[in-house]
Amino acid sequence: MPADPIPAGVGIVHLGLGAFFRAHGAVYVARAMESSGGDWGILGVSLQSPTMRDALAPQGFAYHAVEQGPEGETVRRIDVVRQVLVAREDPEAVLAAMADPGVRIVSLTVTEKGYCHNPATGALNPDHPDIAHDMADTLPRSAPGYIVRALERRRAAGLRPFTVLCCDNLPENGRVVRGVVLDLARRLDPALADWIAEEGRFPSTMVDRIVPATKPEDIARLRAQGIEDNLPVMHEPFSQWVVEDDFVDGARPDLGAVGVQLVGDVTPFEHMKLRMLNGTHSSLAYLGYLAGHETISETVADPVFAVFVQHLWREEIIPALAPPPGVDLASYADELLARYRNPAIRHRTWQIAMDGSQKLPQRILGTLAENAAVGRASPGLMLAVAGWMRYVSGTDEKGQPIEVKDPLADDLRARAAEGVEALLALRAVFPEALAAQIAPGVAAAHARLMQLGARRAAEEISGT
């Protein structure tokens, strides 16, 4: 039975229509259409759960983005989403939408684990259950599988490929996704892989906006203002999107008109953001959680952690970075600290701590590797890794259980029980050479963490 036609005016299919994209990329696209027009409506795809579709469908897929600043809230209605499909319910409908001639961009926010790759190397994991399924079945399960099978249909129909626009926090995210897609395509049809490599485009991007989880009281607060919305998104005032301007046939919304930075190479921007923001976010999440802090703003309100995070930037992270053109990294650090301190943004340490096995290589280990190569000390980042190790053990400093959300949670808990050496031997996270380099420092940091607790161990490093 053929899939229903997609709504008129759809130019983008977005895989993984979660809160972040609805508070960031979708807002930019909506503003670009208001500014310059174009058929760039978004068809969202939930790869597994119908929750998003079921919440948004009764309100015509419109929702509200709520900017939360220290002085109050600003509410904006976003109506750029035209439809939401659930891939597990109807994979054929998703593939048909992606193969539609009007769709010129497929964007993604499926989190690091959604690319079915090895985080330590960036390569496709062919043993991943979803990838194994996708190599045997034309109706896929994984995001890479949907991209490959949809491009296969477009090639067979004589259509141009779509641009694949990754919006996840991965270093060189476009290059990583291109590599994963080409690897899977080559395993299925080498000629298809050659066509994608020649004709396809995978621009890298850097995305930045803090988007805390929406809480029931947020929905109730809007309702009291006369705004009915099952699934609003909360976000901070700050927003940045840096995109390599490399699209198939140049087809894209007029993003430059609404503040998107269109560049030739996003690498210096993403390194800055991944290491300075995401790296310290993860460091504060693990150590702050262990110290009993619920949110990032609470954590940096503690003077010990405020000084600690400034030590990370000044002594360990900034020295390993080449700044993007026109950017002063010390000023960027000051701006980050001000954003962390925003009391209106309740970004939970537990939320940021999720999926650490996928995040650590990009956020922290790259800086550790570069510092180790030049003999630069990294005691704070070593303590952050030790904090992650304590966290994934599943028990906090008071002996209370931690709900660890991670695709490797069971393996991590078992290794944590064996000790630091067993965790460093996990090659999906720690490359062998780096593990050997950092083993003494991480072991020492872990010993101090266990002896002193997270707060006093951080205090010892920053000298407060």
CA gap 128, 134 in Å, rounded: 10
CA distances from 444 to 118, 279, 336 (A): 28, 20, 29
Q: Give the tokens for residue 104.
A: 């010129």
CA 70 to chain centre: 25
Is residue 115 over pLDDT 80?
yes
In the DSSP assignment, the letter for residue 323 is: P
Q: Give the tokens for residue 150.
A: 């949809």
Condensed to tens digits (0 to 9), the pLDDT of residues 275-285 reads: 999 999 999 99
CA gap 342, 57 in Å, rounded: 33
In the DSSP assignment, the letter for residue 278 is: I
Condensed to tens digits (0 to 9), the pLDDT of residues 230-241 reads: 999 999 999 999
Using a 10 angstrom Cβ sphere, with 0-12 exposed, 13-18 middle and 19 or more buried, the burial of residue 160 is: middle
CA gap 128, 309 in Å, rounded: 36
Is residue 171 over pLDDT 90?
no
Q: Classify domain 267-462 at the CATH topology level.
A: N-(1-d-carboxylethyl)-l-norvaline Dehydrogenase; domain 2 (1.10.1040)
Amino acid at 253: P
Cite the DSSP H helix spans in 4-50: 19-23, 25-36
Condensed to tens digits (0 to 9), the pLDDT of residues 401-452 reads: 999 999 999 999 999 999 999 999 999 999 999 999 999 999 999 999 999 9
146 CB-near residues (< 8 Å, 6+ apart): 15, 45, 87, 91, 94, 95, 98, 140
Give the pLDDT confidence score for residue 464 in this predicted structure: 59
CA gap 279, 258 in Å, rounded: 28
Cα dihedral 135, 140, 143, 147 sign: positive
Condensed to tens digits (0 to 9), the pLDDT of residues 361-387 reads: 989 999 999 999 999 999 999 999 999
Condensed to tens digits (0 to 9), the pLDDT of residues 177-207 reads: 999 999 999 999 999 999 999 999 999 999 9
Give the pLDDT confidence score for residue 4 in this predicted structure: 66
Residue whose token pair is 């510092």: 371
From the list 108, 143, 109, 100, the residue with the least C-alpha distance to 9 is 100
Q: Provide the residue ranges of all domains of the chain, joining segments of one domain with +.
A: 10-263, 267-462
Which whole number is the average pLDDT over 395-400? 93
Q: What superfamily in CATH does domain 10-263 come from?
A: NAD(P)-binding Rossmann-like Domain (3.40.50.720)
Number of C-alpha atoms within 13 angstroms, CB side, residue 400?
7
Give the CA dihedral 172, 235, 408, 405, nearest 10 degrees. Answer: 180
Helix count and strand count (H, E) for the chain: 22, 11
**What is the b/e burial string over 327-352, where b = at least 16 CB atoms within 10 angstroms of the residue's CB?**
eebeebbeebeebbebebbbbbbbeb
Condensed to tens digits (0 to 9), the pLDDT of residues 20-71 reads: 999 999 999 999 999 999 999 999 999 999 999 999 999 999 999 999 998 8
Q: How many CB atoms lie within 10 A of CB 47?
A: 22
Give the CA dihedral 408, 410, 413, 419, nearest 10 degrees. Answer: -70
Count the residues in the chain: 464
Cα dihedral 89, 91, 16, 66 sign: negative
136 CB-near residues (< 8 Å, 6+ apart): none
Condensed to tens digits (0 to 9), the pLDDT of residues 296-352 reads: 999 999 999 999 999 999 999 999 999 998 899 999 999 999 999 998 888 899 999
